[in-house]
Amino acid sequence: MSDWLGDLRKLRTELADTVRYTLIHEDQSFCLNDYLGQSLKLSHSGLIRCVACDRITKKSFNQGHCYPCFRKLAACDSCIVSPEKCHFAEGTCREPEWAAQNCQVPHIVYLAHTSSIKVGITRATQVPTRWMDQGATQAKPIARVQTRHQSGLLEVLCAREISDRTAWQTMLKGNGVPQDLEHARQTLMATCEPGLTELRAEHGEGAFELLQDAPETQIDYPVITWPEKVKAHNFDKQSVVEGTLMGIKGQYLMLDTGVLNIRKFGGYEVEVQVI
């Protein structure tokens, strides 16, 4: 008998003393924190439903899309990964109405400690969800801008000094040594001042609001034991994943048999059993 059955979506997160993680499908909810230390069996039925249009697809693209949606939706366009190349700003956006609601809105540029200190961007409404999804243990907003395009331009400037990448395998091996994000912010802003002046000259003096006193968020994850080696499970290669749930961080279930990136398999029909 199933303890949960549905199409996978990104785990719902709730910031608490330790992050609360829940699988959601229609009226079903399954709080994974309650099963730490217990054995789970996750079985993929073979069905994949597009997370956008719900059609059945043989192959998933971009975390759960069928190929037609992958090709036509603005949410799957290359500028989502590289917002400094925003197609809305160039007048070539696939879905201008979607962009107006998701890209032409305030964004936050931040520093976070994941595998190391990184710079990142997110919609203002996605704070602190974005940080939990990335597995950050510390996060601090450093700037507020009015569009995703502007956040991308500032991120590229900052990424010349601080990486915008997370080494996910390192992130899953532990929390690392706490970092001084305020010192990193001050050093970064001093270094980037000439480039920031140029951006303001092009986009307006008020386009890039630096946040000097934004509070830092500390995040703790539900983990019993960190893996020494990180081996990834893959539903495309194995339909059944079993193991004892040792922890959850970012969007990864950490089993004693390997890790499973839930977000990667969006749209996959999966049965979860506590065994």
- The string of pLDDT tens digits covering residues 143-176 is 999 999 999 999 999 999 999 999 999 999 999 9
pLDDT in tens, 225-262: 999 999 999 999 999 999 999 999 999 999 999 999 99
Q: Do 171 and 115 contact (CB within 8 A), yes or no? A: yes
Mean pLDDT, residues 67-86 taken together: 95
For CA atoms 20, 264, 48, 52, give the dihedral sign.
positive
- Percent above pLDDT 70 for the chain: 100
Q: What is the pLDDT of residue 205?
A: 86
For 38-48, write each residue's pLDDT tens digit: 999 999 999 99
Q: Is the pLDDT of residue 26 over 90?
A: no
Burial 70-84 (b: 16+ CB within 10 A, else e): beebbbbbebbeebb
Report the pLDDT value the prediction gives residue 2, as an integer from 0 to 100: 78
Amino acid at 202: E
| Most distant CA pair in the chain, distance | 62
Question: What would the 3-class secondary structure string for the chain be?
Answer: CCCEEEECCCCEEECCCCCEEEEEECCEEEEHHHHCCCEEEEEEEEEEECCCCCCECCCCECCCECHHHHHHCHHHCHHHHCHHHCHHHHCCCCCHHHHHHHCCCCEEEEEEECCCEEEEEEEHHHCCHHHHHHCCCEEEEEEEECCHHHHHHHHHHHHCCCCCCCCHHHHCCCCCCCCCHHHHHHHHHHHHHHHHHHHHHHHCCCCEEECCCCCCEECCCCECCCCCCCCECCCCCCCEEEEEEEEEECCEEEECCEEEECHHHCCEEEEEEEC
Work out the pLDDT band at 223, boundaries 50, 70, 90. Answer: very high
Q: Rounded to whole angstroms, how far apart are CA atoms 80 and 95?
A: 13
User: Scanning the structure block, which residue is given the tokens 């989502």?
Assistant: 80
CA separation for the pair 219, 192 (Å, rounded): 28
- Token pair for 46: 């073979």
